[in-house]
Each structure stands twice: as structure tokens, then as C-alpha cells.
Structure 1
């Protein structure tokens, strides 16, 4: 029997293969949603459409930051399969409202509702990958999911645009809703239930708050993950600079057109995709600290000479930046899977999804301000990233982090009802404590 290439080995797992196909269809639906929204905004507001989309993106990130920790806590307490199916069906219904939109405020309301459910779905899906894959399949599965996301980020808008031109702006949303239905059907067919806690406790507001704190605490207490989060802030600063200011640089400074802008952004996506494909091989040869640190330097240094090169050089730099983004972000996701027990991964991935998008929420306005006030904004953004890198390097001492033992974070329930614990002054019967268990 012919074996699949290393970067596709996760698809040898039939459960992950079906989950991955559902996610791919979901990503295509997301591309249809945003392209349809852009066309609808232009139909309603003309040249003010960019303002509407900027507001919609702000609402999207806000929903991610506020709701992802809640989603992670819920995902560890109920059947994840049921949660993902419900999520797809709700988004299907919400998308079907878009063809009847006539007011701008209705776009904002629907975007907020859609992305509230998206904020619940994404960390749930991410935390489910380690649940359905083996330790050997897990890195390739996470990298493949990331590569597909990056690739559809490049190709999805073009495909969606072709579909919209064929069926019409408002009709595209009905086709969009079908993608969510197909994804829901695929997840329904997954075997069994997907629960990490077979005896879940009642989900009270206090329990939910404790679960959210557990996810955030685990991110903060683990030195490796804490360093990864710090590096993701640098990656977000550089990434936001590219996403916000490339269009102006290509069309105004370089005096090129929309086609060249599309190629520039495609280079970023293709670099990220190629890095995701090759990451499984490099992961076995290099420590995660090396991969994340190298990726951060790549994306920060890629911006440094951007104002001094011709368009072909810019393509190479943006592809390098895409490689750096993947080395930081995918390695961080894999690191969480390697160092957090399956029973807690929903909460930790939810907290991580919120914090990583908080970095972007801070980086987008910074990139906008630099683009409006500085002539060589890519250069100064690179200096800012490199300066933060020097500070993080001095604080976290990554060369020492490489010596830390492997192990898993677990949550333990401590019962204080017995006589030996009556000296405690609190009345609660149980407390949950985080512990790190080093691997043998």
C-alpha cells in the first residue's frame, strides 16, 4: 500500500480526514461570506464600503477576543461534535438573512452574530484535532489544517468572486449556506461522541468563570507557551503591517495595479502554505523554541528592506514573511497540544485564540497609524519588532527554555470535606488546581 507524503499523514486517520474535509468546506464558505459582504457593502454604500468592512472586521476580532475563552470552556464540558454541528447550522441560518439586508446596521448585526459563532467553532475545532489523532499524526494534522487555511486565504476570494459573478451578489449567500450544511452533515457522520469529560459537572456561571481562568492560567504558567505568546505579538505587528499597508505601497508608491497587489498577497499566503507543508519534517529536527524564534526573526527582518526593493524583491520578502508567520503560529498550536492534557485543551485553545486575536486588535490600528504618519512604515515596523524581540530574548532566555522537560498540564480536583482539611477557612467542597507532570 502506497503511503501518503509526510505532510498528508494525518489523512490516514479516517476521523481526522472527515473532520478536515468539513473544515475545508467551512473555510470556502467563509470566503464566500466575506466576498459577498464586500459586494453587498459596495451595493449599499458605494465608496464608503471600506469603512463598513473595517467596522465589520473590528466586530469580528472583538467577538473572537471576548467569546473564545467561553467557547473553550464549553468545549471541554459537552460533546464537541454536537457543538460544531449546532454552530454550522446556526451560521447557515444567519447567512440566509443576508440577501434581504437593506440597511448598513443590519450588516453589522449579522456580522457580529456570525463571528460570535465562529469564535466558538474555531477553538473547538482546533482542540478536537489532538483528540482524534495520535501523537505521531498530530503535528502533520495541525500543519495541514493551517496550510489549507492559508491556501484558501489566497485562492478562496478568487473562487468566491467567480461564483458571485455567476450567481449574483445576493444569491451567493444561499450557496454559502449550503457549505455550512455540508460541513454539518460531515461532522454528524463522525463516529461516537467527542467528549473529553465523561462526567461533566453542571455548567454554572461560576464553573464557566473558573474554566476560563484555567485556560488563561495554563497559558501564563507554562514558560514555553508564554514565550510563544510573546513572539506571536511580534508576528501580529508585522503581519498587520503587511495586510494594512501593502495595497497602498504597491499601488501608490510602486505605481502598480490591483493584479500586482494580488500577487503580493498571494506570495504571503504561498510562503505560509509551503512552510506548513514542510513543518512536519523540521519539527523532528529542531526544538519548538528554535522554530518559533527563527520564524519571528524571519517575519521581522522581511520588512526591514521592503522600501528598498523592486516588486520582484517584495514578492520574495512577503513569501519569507509568510514562512515566518507559520513557524510561529503553527508551532505554538502544536506546543499547546504537546504540553496540555486533552481534558483541558478546549479551554487553553480558547484562551489562546482570544489572546492571539487581541494582539491583532492592537496591531491593526498601529499599522494604520504608521502607514499614515511614517514614510518608511515597513522599516520602522521591522525595527519595532526587532526591538521587542531583543526585550523578549532578555526576559524569557529561550536558550534556557530549551532545557525544560517534556510533560503535561493537568487539572486536579481537591476535596476539602474530609477531616484532614478542616483547617481551611473556605466553605467550598472542591477546588481545581493546575499541576505540571513531567514526562518520565
Structure 2
């Protein structure tokens, strides 16, 4: 009986795939996520061709440009999603991304890489908020959280498996040629989206207003994002998660290779363990926490993540793997509720702009968190995770105090 119950929890997210429209969107998103893995593995290898000493600089600059594109353009992408055909946005952005990645094999200067990366992520900034705003429209209320969980889990799993597959294909086809496979993935995803009914993705979204002020609507998205106490608290918890998560992404490699004196293989296993934990939580979170506020997931996730990284500087590799598994669980639990809370608490015709604002702020948190992680890693290499845990823990307590009054109102 217990085994059957556990299996039902794991299988439940897949019930959302019974919905034909969501299934099409889900597989299109999964294919494009695999393409993204090809992009970044190919970019890393391409950067190395420009010189070993320049590869880290090129990749760091590319990641910075990626975040800048998200912060600048995603609020306006959300505004657009509330005004024009979302289906058009989804497949058009795929075709543009296809064209951009197909240019990578022909680059011969660093500035060309930066220009292409920025343009690529401008269209990513338009695609992702639109995709997220479509999910609550095409799924039933009972399957919405499962659909979000399945999408998030797939993102985590492909984050583990995608780079490995991309690396194998790069050896087989060639470093520059892998970008053509990447372009092909975007074409397939776009064709899948073209087969879906546009009306289902645009339910209750008003298109009658011919003129609108982009800045006004973008600011409205920000106001709606922070006005709702449930979403506001979830967004603050995402900041906590970003501070802790950046420590993991930035400083794990130094801890494994410099402090523990282990090889790249062990670093890979550590990050895979983190990804596995995040995937597991993404699958089961929607089934385990069915409360309106999602406070159980948010508080438990932030607490687990803060505690997990705080002890890492004082343990060996085997215990670190356990802590990273729990850190992955915590990060998914802390970050997933925001998306579902927007879908459940914001009117259909306003969701696009709110998802766009959320996408911008969630990446702003990481833009703040990465330099903090870099500072603690370079100045306090033996206490970096502890300091990251203390900072994220303090932010967590502040978030709880700020949310105290609204928590009483919502139970």
C-alpha cells in the first residue's frame, strides 16, 4: 500500500500530459531545453578555441549578457504576451533562435560571440514568460501544479543529461557543427507549436486594445507581482534560494578540486547529485503541498537549502553529496511555488506581464548572488559556504518577519 502510494506521487505529474495542448508545449519546451544544452556546451568548447586563457572570460561575459537580456526584455515580453497571439510569440522566437545558433559555426571574433549570445537570450526572454503564462490556460486547475512540476523536473534532468549528450555529439560531429544540431532542435520545437490551437493559449486574454504603453504595462506587472502577499513572499524566498544556489554553482568546483584535492569527475558527480535532488522535489512538490499559500514548500525549501550549504566546509566528499542532494531538494521547493502562485492568483489577462516581471526579478536575484558567491569564494575559500548559509539564513528570517502579518491573514 505504501509503495503504491509513493508510485502514485511520482506518476501524478505525468497525468498533465493527457492534455494534448500541454503535451505539445511540454515536448516543444523539452526539445528546446536540450537545444540550450547544446548551445552552452558548444559555446564552452568554442570559447576554448579562442585560447585556454580566454575561455573563462568569454563564458563569464556570455553568462552576464544572458542575465542582462533577461532583466531588460522579459517584462516587455510579458506585456506582449497579454496583447498578441501567444502561439505566434512561441514559434517565432524558436525560429529566430534557430537562425542565431546557426551563425555560431561561422564566428571568428569574441565580439561576435557576445552579440549572438545577447540576441539569443533576448528571444529566450520573450519565449519563457510566454510559455509559463500559457500553462495555466491550457491545463485544468487540478493538473496545473503537476504540469509546472513536470516542466521544472524536466528542466533539471536535461540540465544533467543534456550537457553529457551534447559533449558526445560534439566529439562525433565536431565543435562548430553541433550548433547545426542545436538549430534543428529549435525547428522541431517550432513545428510542434505550430500544430497546436492558438485559441487555447489565448483564453480570456484581451486583444481589443490596439494601443498600449509598454512602460505602463511593464510597471503594472511589477506592481501586481509585489502587491499579492503570497507571490511577494515567494519572490523573497527565491532571493534566499539564489544567494545559496549561487554558492553551489560558483564554489563547488573550487571546494572539490582545491580543498578536497579531487578530480573533475567528482565535481561532475556532485553537481549531478544536486540536480537529482532538484528533479525529485520538482516531481513531488505539487502533490505533497496542496495548500493555497505554498508556505510549507517555501519555508521548508529555504530552510533545507540554508542548512545544507552551511555545513559543507566542514565535511568530506561523501557527506557533501548528501548535503548537495538535500540542497537540490530545497532549491526546487523554494523556487517552484512562485510560478504556480502567479497562475492561481493573477487574472488570465494580466498573467503575461506578471510572469515577465517575475522572470526579470528572479534573474536579478541571481545577478546579485553571483558576485557575492565570487567574493566569498575568493576571499574566504575555507568558509565560503558557511558565509553563504549565514547570509541566506538572515535573508530568510527577514522574509519571514516581513511576511508575518500577511501570513496571519492567509493562515
Q: Does 1:90 align with 2:96?
A: yes
Aligned counterparts of 2:398 and 2:143: Cα–Cα separation in 1: 35
Deviation at 1:55, TM superposition (A): 0.2
Q: Does 1:381 align with 2:385?
A: no
- Segments of 5+ residues of structure 1 without an aligned counterpart are 406-440
Q: Secondary structure in 1 aligned to 2:288?
A: helix
Q: Secondary structure in 2 aligned to 1:197?
A: coil
Aligned counterparts of 1:210 and 1:44: Cα–Cα separation in 2: 43
Contact residue 20 and residue 145 of structure 1 kept, 8 A: yes
Bigger strand share: 1
Deviation at 1:304, TM superposition (A): 1.1
Equivalent residue in structure 2 for 1:201, among 204, 209, 227: 209
User: What does residue 335 of structure 2 align with?
Assistant: 329
Q: Does 1:248 align with 2:257?
A: no
TM (normalized to structure 2)? Answer: 0.95
Deviation at 1:114, TM superposition (A): 0.3
How do 1:337-416 and structure 2 match up within 5 A? 337-374=343-380, 375-397=382-404, 400-401=406-407, 403-404=409-410
Deviation at 1:91, TM superposition (A): 0.6
User: What does residue 432 of structure 1 align with?
Assistant: none
How do 1:31-42 and structure 2 match up within 5 A? 31-42=37-48
Deviation at 1:231, TM superposition (A): 1.0
Deviation at 1:287, TM superposition (A): 4.8
User: What does residue 154 of structure 2 align with?
Assistant: 148
User: What does residue 284 of structure 1 align with?
Assistant: 290
Deviation at 1:199, TM superposition (A): 3.4
Q: Does 1:180 align with 2:186?
A: yes
Bigger helix share: 2
How do 1:414-429 and structure 2 match up within 5 A? none
RMSD: 1.5
Aligned counterparts of 1:262 and 1:203: Cα–Cα separation in 2: 51
Pair 1:211–1:305, CA change in 2 (3 A): same
Deviation at 1:402, TM superposition (A): 5.5
- Segments of 5+ residues of structure 2 without an aligned counterpart are 1-7
Equivalent residue in structure 2 for 1:232, among 219, 233, 238: 238
Which one scores higher on RCO, CA 8 angstroms, separation ≥ 6? 2
Deviation at 1:46, TM superposition (A): 2.2
Pair 1:109–1:177, CA change in 2 (3 A): same
Contact residue 25 and residue 183 of structure 1 kept, 8 A: yes
Equivalent residue in structure 2 for 1:104, among 93, 106, 110: 110
Contact residue 64 and residue 116 of structure 1 kept, 8 A: yes
User: How many residues get paired?
Assistant: 400
TM (normalized to structure 1)? Answer: 0.89
User: What does residue 31 of structure 2 align with?
Assistant: 25
Aligned counterparts of 1:377 and 1:166: Cα–Cα separation in 2: 39
Aligned counterparts of 1:200 and 1:67: Cα–Cα separation in 2: 24
Pair 1:203–1:240, CA change in 2 (3 A): farther
